[in-house]
Amino acid sequence: MIAQKLKLNFNSCKNQNAIQTLMPYAFAGGWVFDDEATGLVREAFVCGMDDIITEMVERAGIEDAANGFRLTFSATPFPNYTHSFEWLRPEMGGNMYHCPENSITGWLCPALFKYFKKAPKMLYARADAAN
């Protein structure tokens, strides 16, 4: 089976999707996202994750990212991911991750658990234009 060969961990994700997509946008000087499926509205990326996202959209050359862009992420590598996140430790109900591609460390709040049953040891992501 392909999933076994790739060592996909479908049990780590509450909704059983291997790849997730969010549509972050700029709000009040930072990056936020809405996700109707989880009930999150203007959920903020803070404590370093905002800096990581800014670097991701700049590196991807997304000109109108402030009005929304596609953020694809997974606990398993996927083709053409551009950033990886190494789990460091739990902190204040969330989890600290380090992104070696830009040497920035950031905190993912407990909203992470809307997408994963437990904090993945690795996350993989890429930013693309919304269109």
What is the tens place of the pLDDT at every residue in 105-116? Answer: 999 999 999 999
C-beta atoms surrounding 100 within 10 Å: 10
What would the two tokens of residue 108 be? 């993912």
What is the pLDDT, as a whole number, of residue 9?
A: 41
Is the pLDDT confidence value at 97 over 70?
yes
Report CA dihedral (43, 75, 92, 97) to the nearest 10 degrees.
-100
Give tens-digit pLDDT for 39-60: 999 999 999 999 999 999 999 9
What is the pLDDT, as a whole number, of residue 17?
A: 80
What is the pLDDT, as a whole number, of residue 16?
A: 61
Average pLDDT for the chain: 91
Query: At 15, is the pLDDT very low, low, confident or very high (cuts 50, 70, 90)?
Result: low
What would the two tokens of residue 67 be? 């009005």
What global pTM score does this model have? 0.87
Q: What are phi and psi of 15, to 5 degrees?
A: -95, 5
Separation CA 34–CA 22 (nearest Å):
8
Counting residues of the chain whose pLDDT is more than 70, the rounded percentage is: 88
